[in-house]
Structure 1
């Protein structure tokens, strides 16, 4: 493997994971095609992109935990029900045409992203003012798990969009998605690693870059950016994901 390719991988991973960590999301969906373009086999590209997700968002979660920012009461129902419903989504995926699901997901992300960019009524309550009922959080987790299983994607986009709709503060949302997504990403990485689709020099390069990018992005979001900017970042990320899905479908 040429060192120039590893340098390119390092800076691509660093930049993308920094940018996506601002909204508590992983960058795997965008990293994977870039890695393929750089000449890596597709399964290798998938495995290292998922590994970058795991490292970046785990680092962000560790930083949130150390700074006492984690709200486990808010996050645990989402994580538990996402974990429980992901296998059901994977089972149902054998009966439903994937392209139909991807179009539905893209439309949902377009709606969620657009909604996030529309200024909210300043007099409306948010989950900063009141803690959402556990049933709402459980439904968010179950929905994210179903989408994750159906589409073989992380549920961060679904979690972020539904929590925005519920009225949660953007910084709370980034903490929850950063906590939830590494579980599914690491599971996917192990699947590809078990099949032999792994390159240790590439994994090492991606791991260091994702750690630095995830930490710096999370630190920037929580120390320097107002909640409104993070909300807009989440909205832009949702629209970018929707655009990529539609581009892949047409």
Structure 2
């Protein structure tokens, strides 16, 4: 019964991930907490399904001609290096700290979505080292709280480094793939991965990502913005309930 539920949840999360272009951890972790898993196990499960979804999503972007390796490879390698520390961070950090960071992530995401002015410069002059360092920092933080990091990468690339939105999104997906591979290895080494639950969610996510990606292409930008707000408000409510009322 549990695995049937996880398969359904995985499909739903995969659809949301494909629809919004996020890794899915911002949804999976609060849901796993609501189902009774502790934060560290929830993060391990999230990374597992994220690994499967990010690889498939990157493949779809590549087939569609949206994935450009050049600069993205340095961002991805930085993310992989930073995410390798995630197992140690999760091992040492208290649960309340991880939960609070995740809640702060939602607040940052709402701010980014509604109050950040983005640049449309399509040819930013950024060094490979800078991209590596950005990837390293985001990888270490994001994977440790069970999210892919695209929620951080996109505003950094667009708002601070001057990347055009579509290029930033494609690089963000590529980053999530690299970071989740490293994060999965690190989390598995420290015993924070529940393989059956994670891969069940991942199988459902593959189906959901496909249809979610197709749907978002047909959705008006203003409507997407409203759905983003609803998504983060719901996830924030789940986290507030877990932190203050459990």
Q: 1:99 to 1:132 in 2, by over 3 A?
A: farther
Picking from 156, 160, 176, the partner of 1:162 is 156
Partner of 1:184: 179
The CA deviation at 1:13 is 1.3
- Does residue 133 in structure 1 map to residue 130 in structure 2? no
1:74-131 superposed Cα distances (whole Å, 9 cap, x missing partner): 42222122233445677788998775676566446524422322484xxx7424x333
The CA deviation at 1:67 is 1.0
Q: 1:83 to 1:6 in 2, by over 3 A?
A: closer
Q: Find the structure with the greater CA-based Rg.
A: 1
CA contact (8 A) 2:10 2:208 kept: yes
Q: 1:45 to 1:6 in 2, by over 3 A?
A: same
* Alpha-carbon distance in 1 for matches of 2:36, 2:137: 36
CA contact (8 A) 1:13 1:206 kept: yes
Equivalent positions of 1:68-147 (< 5 A) are 68-87=65-84, 103=100, 106-107=103-104, 109-118=106-115, 120=117, 125-127=119-121, 129-134=122-127, 137-147=131-141
Picking from 58, 63, 70, the partner of 1:66 is 63
